[in-house]
Structure 1
Amino acid sequence: MRAIGVKAFIDKTFDTFPFEGEWLESFGEPEKNFKMILYGGSGEGKTEFTVRFAKYLASFGKISYVSPEQGISKSLQDAIIRNNMDEVAGKVMFLTGGTFDELVTYIRKSRSKVIIIDSLDYMKLTVDQFKILIAKFPKKAFIIIAWAKNGSPKSQHAKDIEFMCDIKSFVESFKITLPTSRFGGNKEFVIWKGASKKKATTAQPSLFDN
C-alpha cells in the first residue's frame, strides 16, 4: 500500500506522449503507459485506424504490432502501403503466431514503447492475461483491438478489459464518433473522409479489415 498527500499529488508530474493535431483533439495527451481498447464490426476501419495510429506513435519510439488475426497478409500489407509506413521503417515490427508466454518473452526483450494486439478475440486474450501484461510491463502502452456486437465489445473479456482502459473507441463507418479518453480530447476522429460512401465507392481503403 502507498499513501500520498494532496500537495504531493498536485505537484507530481507524469510522462506523457505530446500528441498534436487530430490525435490531441480526439485522445488528449496520454500517459506513456496508457491502455486503449478499439472495437468495431468487420470492415468498419479498425485496421486502417490502427496502422495509422501505429505510424504516428512510431514518431515517439518503437512499436510492436501483434497481428494473429490477419497475420502477414495482403490486406495488412495494403494498409501498410496506403499509410506510407515505409516512412517509419525500423520503428514498427509486425508479429504473428506464437503463444501468450512467447509474447511475454518477446515484450520483455523488445524496446517497444507500445504493444498493439489485433485482435483480442482471435488471440483469445483473457482478462487475467491482460492483467499479467500490465503488471509485468507497467511502463509500456497497450492497444487492444476487439470485435463488436451492437455497438459494444463482443466478448465478456473485452467488455471487462474496456473498464480497465484509459481510452475507449468504437469504430463504425471509418469513424470514431465518440472517443472516450481520460486524458481529454474526445473529438470525433475521421479515419477515412469518404466514410459515408464506404459501401458504394471503389476509391476506398480495403474492407478486408479485421
Structure 2
Amino acid sequence: MKAIGITQFLEKSFDVYELEGEWLDSFGQIEKNFKMSVTGESGGGKTELVVKLIKELCLKFKTKADYFSYEQGHSKSLQSAIQRNNMEDVKGKVMFITGGTFDELLTRLKRRASAKIVIIDSQDYSELSTKQYKELIKIFPKKSFIVVSWAKNEKPKNQAARDIEYMSCIKVFVKDYKAYPRSRFGGNKTFVIWDKKDNTPVQGKLF
C-alpha cells in the first residue's frame, strides 16, 4: 500500500506516446503502459486496426511489439494484412508468434529487451483467463497489452474478455472496418480502417 498527497500526485509525470493527427483524435495521448481491448465480429477489421496501430507506434517511437497470433497463426490472411500496411518499414521491431502455452508467453516476455507492446489475438482462441491477464499486468507493469476478442451485441462474447475490457483504459469496438474507441486518454473519434468505397485500406483517416 502506498499513499501520496494531492501535491505529490499533481507533480507526477507519466511516459506517453505522443500521437498526432488522426491517431491522437481517436485514441488520445496514450500512456506507454496502456491496456487496450479490441472486440468485434469476424471479418470486421480487428486485425487490420491492430497491425496499423503497432506499425505507427513502432515506427515513430522506436519500440518493439510481439504479436501472438493464436487465432490466425502464420496464415495467408495475416500475411496480407502485413503486406497491405507495408510492415517491412518496421522490420526487426515486430515479431509474429504462433502457438505456445501461457507459461511460454511469460518466458518470452521475461527475456531481456523483450517487446514493450504485447498483442494477444484472440482471447477467445487462446482462452486467456481473467486471472492470467491480471498476472500479466502485475508482472509486466511497464508493458502495453492489446487483447483482441470476439463480440456479441457489440460487447466481448465471454466473461473473461468482458473482464479484460473493464480493466482496459482503451476499449474499441470494430465493425465494417470502422473503429469506435472509448479512451480514458481522450480523442474518441471514429477511426476508419478501410475505405470500402475504393476498396483501399487507409492510414489514419477519420469518419
TM range (shorter): over 0.9
Structure 1 unaligned spans of 5+:
206-210
Q: Give 3-state SS (helix, strand or coil) of 1:29's partner.
A: coil
Give the drift of 1:80.
0.2
Give the drift of 1:40.
0.1
User: What is the alpha-carbon distance in structure 1 between the residues aligned to residue 7 and residue 23 of structure 2?
Assistant: 31
User: What is the alpha-carbon distance in structure 1 between the residues aligned to residue 8 and residue 163 of structure 2?
Assistant: 32
Q: Is the 8 A contact 2:67 2:120 kept in 1?
A: yes
User: What is the alpha-carbon distance in structure 2 between the residues aligned to residue 161 and residue 79 of structure 1?
Assistant: 25
Give the drift of 1:21.
1.1
Which amino acid is the alignment partner of residue 184 of structure 1? G
Of 144, 149, 159, the match for 1:146: 149
Partner of 1:173: 176
1:87 corresponds to 2:89: yes
1:111 corresponds to 2:114: yes
The structure richer in strand per residue is 2
Which amino acid is the alignment partner of residue 188 of structure 2? N
Partner of 1:122: 125
Q: Is the 8 A contact 2:128 2:160 kept in 1?
A: yes
Cα deviation 1:16-73 (Å, max 9, x = unaligned): 1111111111111111111000000001001111111111121220111010100001
User: What is the alpha-carbon distance in structure 1 between the residues aligned to residue 190 and residue 200 of structure 2?
Assistant: 20
Partner of 1:57: 57
User: What is the alpha-carbon distance in structure 1 between the residues aligned to residue 54 and residue 171 of structure 2?
Assistant: 17
Q: Give 3-state SS (helix, strand or coil) of 2:110's partner.
A: helix
Alignment of 1:1-210 (within 5 A): 1-59=1-59, 60=61, 61-109=63-111, 110-177=113-180, 179-194=181-196, 203=199
Which amino acid is the alignment partner of residue 49 of structure 1? L
Give the drift of 1:111.
2.2
User: What is the alpha-carbon distance in structure 1 between the residues aligned to residue 195 and residue 79 of structure 2?
Assistant: 21
User: What is the alpha-carbon distance in structure 2 between the residues aligned to residue 118 and residue 56 of structure 1?
Assistant: 18
Partner of 1:208: none
Structure 2 unaligned spans of 5+:
202-207
Q: Give 3-state SS (helix, strand or coil) of 1:146's partner.
A: strand
Q: Give 3-state SS (helix, strand or coil) of 1:26's partner.
A: helix
User: What is the alpha-carbon distance in structure 2 between the residues aligned to residue 77 and residue 2 of structure 1?
Assistant: 46
Cα deviation 1:95-127 (Å, max 9, x = unaligned): 011100000000111521100110000000000
Cα deviation 1:104-155 (Å, max 9, x = unaligned): 0001115211001100000000000000000010000000000001111001
Q: How many residues align?
A: 198
